[in-house]
Structure 1
Amino acid sequence: MFASRQFLSLLLLLTIKTIGTWAAGGHQMWTYTGQSGPVHWSQAFQACGGTRQSPINIETGSVKVEYWQPFIFKNYDDPPMVMRVANNGHTAKVEMDSHNAPRVAQGGLKGDYIFAQLHFHWGGDSSQGSEHTIDGVRYPLEMHIVNYKASYGNLGTAVQKPDGLAVLGVMYEVSDTDNAALTPLVNALANITDAGLFAEVATPYPLRAFLPKDTEKFYRYEGSLTTPTCNEAVIWTVFDTPVRVSENQLNALRAMKTEDGYKLINNYRPTQPLHGREVQVSGASYSSADSISMKNMGLALYFISTMTVVMMNM
């Protein structure tokens, strides 16, 4: 009788856990491999089979040049009051509390976007890891800084809008030295190896430290979340200039585990078809564009004056 009660209690707990998982948005319904891997996502999440999906391969020979004002990064230089990193079984997700929320504007974006979180995608080795590829090249690590449009009020509403999110994609390349901004974050990862854990990051760097030095050259396209539910709500920015990361720091990410206890590696979605979408690249800043215009105008005036002189001497 006691054994039967134990069995029934265990069955009830498993049932509650399963129902809770589905109600929470299917946290365990998708993985990066096997029958619940990316190829099958659209069976459970219809949007994953859409025509505006991410990531993509960026073919630099086919992009359209656009001239936008430079990005404005508001409160990006302010160290956060608290930074937390969590192992949610799919990635290392970072959130922060700040006196004034970091925001990004301009750079071709229509409106202000408020920082929500950042997270990473990496490989089992340094030959793979990034979600986006540039001319077919895959980097060992890609960071996504997720921002939601301020005018929509909150992340939940914004993710339902075609321009609700602005995600900044940062590529990493391997270096012999550690990335100082990542060091406090990497140190915290040792405490969250198992899925479902989180830890505070000691002496965190401001958000600016996670950006590449050159933020003026970037690629832009309309896409989606790269994980289920794959909402087609993202204005993507992928910076051209990579940031450095050491193998030791990459190995700290690779030491994390999924909910099933497996190594959390190769957590990137394969690139998706463009379906006719246009990919843009930022040209010179407005000031540079103005100087180019002035130069062109000067050449035109020179040509006109030269032709005038020629005509007068005929």
Structure 2
Amino acid sequence: MALPALVLCLALFAQDVWSSGDGPAWTYTGQHGPVNWGSMFRTCAGKRQSPINIETGNVKTEFWKPFSLKNFDQPPTNMRVKNNGHSAVVEIDAPSAPRVTQGGLKGEYIFAQFHFHWGADSSMGSEHTIDGVRYPMELHMVHYKGSYGTLGNAVSKPDGLAVLGVMLEVSETDNPALTPLVSALNNITESGMFATVAASYPLRAFLPSNLERFYRYEGSLTTPTCNEVVTWTVFANAIPVSEKQMRSFRSLRNDQGGNMVNNFRPPQALNNRRVLVSGESGADSASMKKVGLTLYFMTSMAVLMMNM
């Protein structure tokens, strides 16, 4: 959906659904850290919380149509990054809103922003873990359901948000797509600062090349107020980041004036939720069932003819 004159501002820095509003301040350490979020914010003690540890031996395979990414290959007209005191948040202006459908999602979701979680060193950083393994960084690409109209409306709906989670692993060379962003981080070291980023790369550059293999479950925002409104997609394949680039993220400072590191929530209880994994196929489950029935019918007919 293109706008006739002005570019589309996909989200406003002033509207931060990951803030606690008028509630108490929260942190990643101390008495206001994750272990106490549940007593500070009722929803953070819910039964559908994120992140989780994904046990690959205890997942159910589903066959969905491949993701359909619209306008993900078009570089934005403008990008901005903000130090919001908890993370580095990236928002864009674009002539047409990036949208994602299929991949098992129930509806069309519109891009809002992406942000990062990282550790003090590369032994930690990601929020989700896979078989207990934690990556040095995790990128969350946030989308809201288009039928709800706005991001603000969507955060109150059980299926309001779809977040694409991307793991980052250390590489010996810089990730070119991250280079403009990393350069801008040097100008926003203090909480509340923001800077323009050279919009050289489309959103697709921040996703892994293989989008077919991913994990899916129903969860929440990973920061207060922990709204249980997220359909999570966690890709099995990672994208690269260099240690030099990681140091730029670690140079940011949080709301308390300290180094912004270890800004991740520990894995939460699964509480009988199902974790699904995508089958690497272009066919959806309905098509697979039809194929199975056809094979069963043909096999039965062959056996019948042999016995005639």
Q: TM-score, normalised by structure 2?
A: 0.89
Aligned to 1:205: 201
Whether the 8 Å CA contact 2:166–2:208 is kept in 1: the answer is yes
Aligned to 2:222: 226
Larger Rg: 1
Going from structure 1 to structure 2, the CA distance change for 1:115 and 1:74 (only over 3 Å counts) comes to same
Aligned to 1:301: 298
> Which runs of at least 4 in structure 1 moved beyond 6 Å after TM superposition?
none
For residues 11-64 of structure 1, the C-alpha deviation after alignment (integer angstroms, 9 at most, x for no partner) is: xxxxxxxxxxxx971587100000000011122211000000000000111111
- Number of residue pairs the alignment of both structures matches: 289
Shift of 1:305: 2.0
Q: Distance in 2 between matches of 1:65 and 1:227?
A: 29
Aligned to 2:266: 270
Q: Distance in 2 between matches of 1:39 and 1:288?
A: 40
SS at match of 1:308: helix
What are the equivalent positions in structure 2 for 1:181-196 lying under 5 Å apart? 181-196=177-192
Aligned to 1:136: 132
5+ residue gaps, structure 1: 1-22
Q: Pick the structure with more helix per residue.
A: 1
Aligned to 2:165: 169
Shift of 1:291: 7.8
The percentage of aligned residue pairs carrying the same residue is: 60
RMSD over aligned Cα atoms: 2.0
Q: Distance in 2 between matches of 1:24 and 1:47?
A: 11
Q: Distance in 2 between matches of 1:105 and 1:186?
A: 30
Aligned to 1:102: 98
Q: Distance in 2 between matches of 1:299 and 1:225?
A: 44
Shift of 1:204: 3.1
What are the equivalent positions in structure 2 for 1:54-73 lying under 5 Å apart? 54-73=50-69
Whether the 8 Å CA contact 1:185–1:204 is kept in 2: the answer is no
Letter in 1 for 2:125: G
Shift of 1:257: 0.5
SS at match of 1:157: helix
Q: Distance in 1 between matches of 2:59 and 2:179?
A: 35
Going from structure 1 to structure 2, the CA distance change for 1:292 and 1:244 (only over 3 Å counts) comes to farther
Q: Does 1:34 align with 2:39?
A: no
Whether the 8 Å CA contact 1:83–1:204 is kept in 2: the answer is no
Aligned to 2:280: 284
Q: Distance in 2 between matches of 1:304 and 1:38?
A: 61
Q: Distance in 1 between matches of 2:241 and 2:52?
A: 23
Aligned to 1:251: 247
Q: TM-score, normalised by structure 1?
A: 0.87
Q: Does 1:88 align with 2:84?
A: yes
Q: Does 1:112 align with 2:112?
A: no
5+ residue gaps, structure 2: 1-18
